[in-house]
Amino acid sequence: MKQKTILIIDDEPALLAHLRRLLGGDYQVEGVSSAREGLHRAKSARPDLILLDLKMPQMGGIEFLRELKRMADHIPAIVMSAYADVASVVQAMKLGAVDFIAKPFNDEKLKEDIEIFFSSSKRPGEKLFKESIVGNSTQMQQVWSLIEKFAPSDIGILLIGESGTGKELFARAIHEMSKRSHGPFVPVDCATIPESLVESELFGYEKGAFTGASVGRPGWFETAHKGTLFLDEVGNLSSTVQAKLLRSLQESTISPIGSRSHRSVDARV
C-alpha cells in the first residue's frame, strides 16, 4: 500500500521539526514554513492531507484555504490553532477544512486524529440518522449541511431550537457522524438536576467531600471521556455553574468537589 503523504504548513521551525519526527515513521511528511510555499507544494505534490497553522505572517491559514478551494481537486486540510480563536476555526471549516486540532496538542491525540481521518469513510449510519429525523424542507437541508460540515471535527456545538424540535436527535447524529462515534454519548438534562447537586453531577466528587460521600464518584464529564457530552437546556444552569463550565470547556479539565487538583478530560460538548 502506498504511504500516505502529509504536508505541514507552520511558521515555527521547532514545531515543524517535531511534527516531522512524530509523523515521519508512519507517513511521508514534508514541512514548509509559509502559506505561499505551501500552496506551491500542494499544487505540485498533491498531498493526501495538509496540516495547516491558522496564524502565520504575510499569508494566513484562512487566505491559504481560499486559494486552495480554487484548485480543481479538493485536498483535505486539518487546521491547527488555539481554542481562543474558535471564530477563525469555524471560518476555516466553512472554507473546507475537515478538522481542527487545538494548540498546544497532545502528540498521541494528534496521531490518533490523523489515523482516524485516513481510516474513516462515509458511514452508513449517516443515512440511517437522516431517515430517523423527519423533514425535507429547505431549512432542514441547511441544518444537515451544517451538521455534515462540523460533525467530524472536535469543535463544541451549540444547538438552538424550541422544545420538541429534536435537539437531542441532532446531537446524537453529530456524535455518530464524528470521530468519537465509538465513545459514549452522554445526554444530561440540566433542567431536572437540583441546583444543589449540579456541580457534583457534572464534575463528580472525591471520597469525604461532604457528609455521606463514603466513596468518590465521577461526574458526567468523566463519564463522557473520549465521547460526546450533550448538555440539554444548559441555560437553566446558574451563572456560577456556567462560569465553572466555561473554564472546563476552555481548559479541558475538571476539578471534582473535594479535590485540590484538576483532571484532564477529553469530551466533546
Domains of the chain: 5-119 (3.40.50.2300), 124-264 (3.40.50.300)
Burial, 162: exposed, middle or buried (Cβ in 10 Å; 0-12, 13-18, 19+)? exposed
Model pLDDT, residue 23: 95
Expressed in percent and rounded to 5, the helix, strand and coil fractions of the chain are 45, 15, 40
Regions of the chain short of the pLDDT cut 70: 1, 72-73, 83-84, 120-132
Note the pLDDT of residue 158.
93
- What lies within 8 Å, CB to CB, of 62 at 6+ separation is 54, 88, 91, 92, 95
pLDDT of residue 122: 45
pLDDT of residue 120: 67
Residue with cell 437531542: 168
pLDDT tens digit sequence for 193-218: 888 888 888 998 888 777 777 788 88
Query: How many CB atoms lie under 10 A from the CB of residue 215?
Result: 8
pLDDT of residue 69: 83
Note the pLDDT of residue 250: 85
Element (H, E) at 188: strand 185-189
Whether the ω angle into residue 104 lies within 30 degrees of 0, i.e. cis, is: yes
**Amino acid occupying residue 234:** V
Strands (E), 5-86: 5-9, 28-32, 49-53, 77-81
* Helix residue ranges, H only, 104-181: 107-119, 124-132, 138-150, 167-176
Task: Give burial (CB, 10 Å; 0-12/13-18/19+) of 141.
Answer: exposed
Asked whether the beta carbons of 89 and 107 are under 8 A apart, the reply is: no
Phi, psi (degrees; rounded to nearest 5) at 136: -125, 20
